[in-house]
């Protein structure tokens, strides 16, 4: 098997936040920690609004893994980046290193005491016996060990968010793009921003006066 990855189709995502909710529910993620979130650009601009759902991307050459001073990250044989919470000292280096802001820290108390790092596990738990209570309490559900895929991707209503082996989901995405009659231009700078890198952005229509809730 190649490597487990997420892929979010910006032309399908409707910013329903269902994936965020599914993740919260499946893993009983504490208040204040978002393992997954939906990022929207050009919010409210008709025709230019795009959303993608982002979590840990399980980098092949993970910066978080490289900077952790206590070396508590590991990579599974399926390419999922996980960490050992027993060892984590909550220093926050991984948060600075991560290009996606994936590592999250539960905060408590008046001084914002920072807890141990928590991030998307690709629903693969952590270094505790698979599907045990200890694993669930620390890392959430281990759906891979149940023969399933991450809850966010599996329940996405529009199937914008795909999760699984990079090769397989890339093939699914490619087939979609071809059906839409488009090519490699579908995912990239010009699709997202309507211009080539370095060119002027399009003239934006004024956002509606009543803000979106």
| From 39, 44, 78, 100, residue interacting with another protein (rule: CB under 8 A) | 78
| From 47, 179, 197, 198, residue interacting with another protein (rule: CB under 8 A) | 179
- How far apart, in whole angstroms, are the C-alpha atoms of residue 23 and residue 166? 20
- How far apart, in whole angstroms, are the C-alpha atoms of residue 38 and residue 152? 12
φ/ψ of 50, rounded to 5, equals -135, 145
Piece in contact with another protein (CB under 8 A), picked from 14-22, 38-46, 50-58, 165-173: 165-173
User: What is residue 159's three-state secondary structure?
Assistant: coil
| From 75, 91, 107, 186, residue interacting with another protein (rule: CB under 8 A) | 75
* Nearest CB to ligand SF4, comparing residues 119 and 138: 119
Piece in contact with another protein (CB under 8 A), picked from 21-29, 41-49, 104-112, 145-153: 145-153
Piece in contact with ligand SF4 (CB under 6 A), picked from 27-35, 64-72, 133-141, 195-203: 64-72
- 178's enclosing H/E stretch is helix 166-179
Q: What is the dihedral of CA 158, 159, 160, 166, to 10 degrees?
A: 180
Q: What is each CA distance from 69 to 73, 75, 100, 104, in whole angstroms? A: 10, 16, 20, 17
Question: Under rule CB under 6 A, which residues in 152-191 are in contact with ligand SF4?
Answer: 156-158, 160-161
Does the footprint of another protein cover residue 3 (CB under 8 A)? no
13 interface partner picked from ligand SF4, another protein, none, CB below 5 to 8 A per type: ligand SF4
Tokens matching residue 122: 């690709």
- How far apart, in whole angstroms, are the C-alpha atoms of residue 62 and residue 167? 19
- How far apart, in whole angstroms, are the C-alpha atoms of residue 26 and residue 58? 19
- How far apart, in whole angstroms, are the C-alpha atoms of residue 78 and residue 59? 12
| From 34, 79, 93, 154, residue interacting with ligand SF4 (rule: CB under 6 A) | 93
Of 184, 75, 27, 180, whose CA–CA distance to 19 is shortest?
Answer: 27
98 interface partner picked from ligand SF4, another protein, none, CB below 5 to 8 A per type: ligand SF4
3-state helix, strand, coil in the chain (%, to 5): 25, 15, 55
Interface residues with another protein (CB under 8 A) are: 1, 60-61, 65-66, 70-78, 82-84, 86-87, 124-131, 142, 144-149, 153-154, 159, 162-165, 168-169, 172, 175-176, 179
Interface residues with ligand SF4 (CB under 6 A) are: 8, 13-19, 38, 51, 53, 56-59, 62-64, 67-68, 70, 72, 81, 83, 88-94, 98, 100, 102-103, 117, 119, 156-158, 160-161
């Amino acid at each position: 098997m190649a490597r487990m990855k997420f892929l979010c189709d910006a032309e399908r995502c409707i910013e329903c936040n269902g994936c965020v909710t599914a993740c919260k529910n499946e893993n009983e993620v504490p208040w204040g920690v978002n393992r997954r979130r939906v990022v929207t650009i050009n919010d409210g601009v008709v025709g230019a609004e795009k959303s993608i759902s982002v979590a840990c991307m399980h980098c092949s050459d993970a910066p978080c893994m490289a900077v952790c001073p206590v070396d508590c990250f590991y990579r599974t044989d399926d390419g999922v980046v996980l960490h050992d919470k027993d060892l984590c000292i909550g220093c926050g280096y991984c948060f600075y290193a991560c290009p996606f802001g994936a590592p999250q820290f539960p905060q408590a108390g008046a001084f914002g005491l920072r807890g141990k790092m928590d991030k998307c596990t690709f629903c693969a738990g952590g270094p505790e016996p698979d599907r045990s209570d200890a694993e669930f309490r620390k890392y959430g559900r281990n759906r891979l060990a149940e023969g399933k895929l991450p809850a966010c991707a599996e329940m996405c209503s529009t199937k914008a968010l795909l999760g699984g082996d990079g090769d397989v989901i890339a093939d699914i995405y490619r087939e979609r793009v071809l059906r839409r009659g488009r090519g490699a231009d579908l995912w990239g700078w010009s699709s997202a921003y309507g211009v080539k890198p370095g060119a002027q952005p399009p003239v934006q229509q004024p956002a509606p006066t009543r803000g979106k809730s």
